[in-house]
Amino acid sequence: MTLAEYRRIQRHPTLAAQFCLMLGLPESIAQIVRCHHEMADGSGYPAGLSGENIPLAASVLGAAGAFASILLPRPYRPARKHNAAFHALRRENWPEPVLRQLRAII
């Protein structure tokens, strides 16, 4: 993937949040969508937010996306079971409060 392609991918949370607003959804929902790729350590995108600056619901949404991705087979590995997916998220250092909320939903 080229740098330009990667930058285009990084725009999707902002574009999706704008779409939410166009649909008449509340700003709080748009903020969750906008922040779903932010990471607690500040390495996420689009704004590089960290820690408590990221809404919990946004982190749970991001973790849910990662969880779903782990459950699907990939060319380089088979699909994983639910427990293995949660262990993988722990190894990726998702915060425990986020994982607790995700487990409660699933």
- The partner residues of 74 in beta bridges, in order of sequence, read 77
Q: What is the largest CA-CA distance in the chain?
A: 41
1: pLDDT confidence band, cut at 50, 70 and 90?
Answer: confident
Predicted model pTM: 0.90
* pLDDT, the chain, mean: 95
pLDDT at 79: 94
Q: What is the pLDDT of residues 53-85, one digit of tens each?
A: 999 999 999 999 999 999 999 999 999 999 999
Do 84 and 71 touch, CB atoms closer than 8 A?
no
Write down all domains in the chain, each with its CATH number in brackets: 3-105 (1.10.3210.10)
**Locus of tokens 């994983």:** 80
